[in-house]
Amino acid sequence: MLRRQSVLPGFSLSLGVTSAFIGLLVLLPLAALAAKAASLRPAAFWATVSDPRALAAYRLSFGASLAAAALNGVFGLLVAWVLVRQPFPGKRLVDALVDLPFALPTAVAGITLTTLYGPNGWIGRHLEPLGLRVAFTELGITVALTFIGLPFVVRTLQPVIEEMGTDAEEAAASLGAGRAQTLWRVVLPTLLPAWLTGVTLALSRALGEYGSVVFIAGNMPMKTEIAPLLIMTKLEQYDYAGATAIALVMLFASLLLLLAIGTLQAWSVRRSLGEAAS
């Protein structure tokens, strides 16, 4: 199994523990999911997953999730950077609060965001005159998805920025690189793998999210109906097979996305290695 012998111990032990967990908690349940979806005849399966309403839901789910992941990618990087590098009053508190989107039940997040961004809410009230409707539109869905994915990018980047220190930047600067050049050639390549990890996690979390979105989405069929809601409506008709069929499509698409980003990440690691060495 091992491609190369290692002096490091624990291969069998860690392999055993990992496979036991993955087997029991991931493979077995997902096999049950696939088995249920397979109880549909191929034609029925196809009809379920290619229904115009389902297609609209996939488009919305992937679109809003990508937008939220991108937003988190930009601002998560900024927040992580500021939290590690810039001193400002109340920084410890801010740092502590970043994890809270995980701890708040998603429904609470959804209700609160709808209250705030609704037409008469604290924030929505000021956006409405600008012609910006947030609640019950795609924009609102993106806001909710950004909220629930916020900790991922920040928290995956933070340890890496801490670890990185300022040595490499100072080195680059002493070799005559400008600040922008240093950021572009030294800092960003170093952060890229972790940044991609964070964005991937935020993206996959957004794709599956249900609890917070249903409150702010408005749930209009063909317009603001996300894929997980479609799964719920199938379950409500006791159509377990149809629900698992949609779930399987979403899962497969996310898996492809995860693999694509994984490849990008492997490439970025190789590239930054090559660049640093040259």
Partner 1 sequence: MTNFSIGIRALVALLALAPAARAQVTLLNVSYDPTRELYQEVDAAFAREWRQKTGQSVTVQQSHGGSGKQARAVIDGLEADVVTLALAYDVDALHRVGGLIPAGWQRRLPHNSAPYTSTIVFLVRKGNPKGIRDWGDLGKPGVQVITPNPKTSGGARWNYLAAWGWALRQPGGSEAKAKDLVTRIFRNVPVLDSGARGSTNTFVQRGIGDVLLAWENEALLAVRELGPDKFEIVLPPLTILAEPSVAVVDQVVDRKGTRKAAEAYLDFLYSPAGQALAAKHYFRPRDAGVAAKCAAQFPKTTTFTIDEAFGGWAKAQAAHFDDGGTFDRIYAAGR
Partner 2 sequence: MSAIVAARRAQPLTPPAPSASEDSRPVRLALTGAALVFLGLFLFVPLLAVFAEALSKGGEAWVAAVSEPEARAALWLTLKVAALSVPLVTVFGVAAAWLIARFDFRGRRLLLALIDLPFAVSPVIAGLVFVLLFGRQGLFGPALAEHGVKVIFAVPGIVLATLFVTLPFVARELIPLLESEGRDEEEAARTLGASGLQMFWRVTLPNIRFGLLYGVILANARAMGEFGAVSVVSGHIRGLTNTLPLHVEILYNEYRFQAAFAVASLLAFLAIGTLVAKALLERRIGGSR
What residue ranges bind partner 1 (CB under 8 A)?
Answer: 51-53, 111, 114-115, 118-121, 135-136, 214-215, 218-222, 229, 232-239, 242
Of 60, 135, 143, 199, the one binding partner 2 by CB under 8 A: 143
Exposed, middle or buried: residue 134 (CB in 10 Å: 0-12, 13-18, 19+)? Answer: buried
CB nearer to partner 1: pick between 114 and 254: 114
Q: Is 3 in the site for partner 2 (CB under 8 A)?
A: yes
Map the footprint of partner 2 across residues 259-278, applying CB under 8 A: 259, 262, 269, 272-273, 276-277
How many of the other CB atoms lie within 10 Å of CB of 157? Answer: 25
Map the footprint of partner 2 across residues 79-118, applying CB under 8 A: 79, 81-83, 86, 88, 92, 94, 96-109, 111-113, 115-116
CB nearer to partner 1: pick between 101 and 110: 110
CB 202 within 8 A of CB 68: yes
Q: Residue 143 binds what, of partner 2, partner 1, none (CB under 5 to 8 Å, by partner type)?
A: partner 2
Q: Write out the two tokens for 24.
A: 């029991």
Map the footprint of partner 2 across residues 210-269, applying CB under 8 A: 210-211, 227-228, 231-232, 235, 240, 243-244, 247, 250-251, 254-255, 258-259, 262, 269
- Binding footprint of partner 2, residue count (CB under 8 A): 120
Q: Write out the two tokens for 60.
A: 């919305």
Map the footprint of partner 2 across residues 145-184, applying CB under 8 A: 146-147, 150-151, 155-156, 158-160, 162-164, 166-175, 179, 182
CB 46 within 8 A of CB 117: no
CB nearer to partner 1: pick between 135 and 194: 135
Gap between the Cα atoms of 69 and 62, Å rounded: 10
Closest approach of Cβ 262 to partner 2, in Å? Answer: 7
Place of tokens 């992580």: 80
Exposed, middle or buried: residue 258 (CB in 10 Å: 0-12, 13-18, 19+)? Answer: middle
Q: Residue 236 binds what, of partner 1, partner 2, none (CB under 5 to 8 Å, by partner type)?
A: partner 1
CB nearer to partner 1: pick between 118 and 193: 118
Q: Is 44 in the site for partner 2 (CB under 8 A)?
A: no
Evaluated on CA atoms 59, 61, 65, 68, the torsion sign reads positive
Place of tokens 């996300």: 226
Which positions ≥6 away from 150 have C-beta within 8 Å? 72, 76, 98, 101, 202
Q: Residue 60 binds what, of partner 2, partner 1, none (CB under 5 to 8 Å, by partner type)?
A: none
Gap between the Cα atoms of 148 and 213, Å rounded: 10
Place of tokens 């989107």: 101
Q: Which amino acid is at 199?
A: V
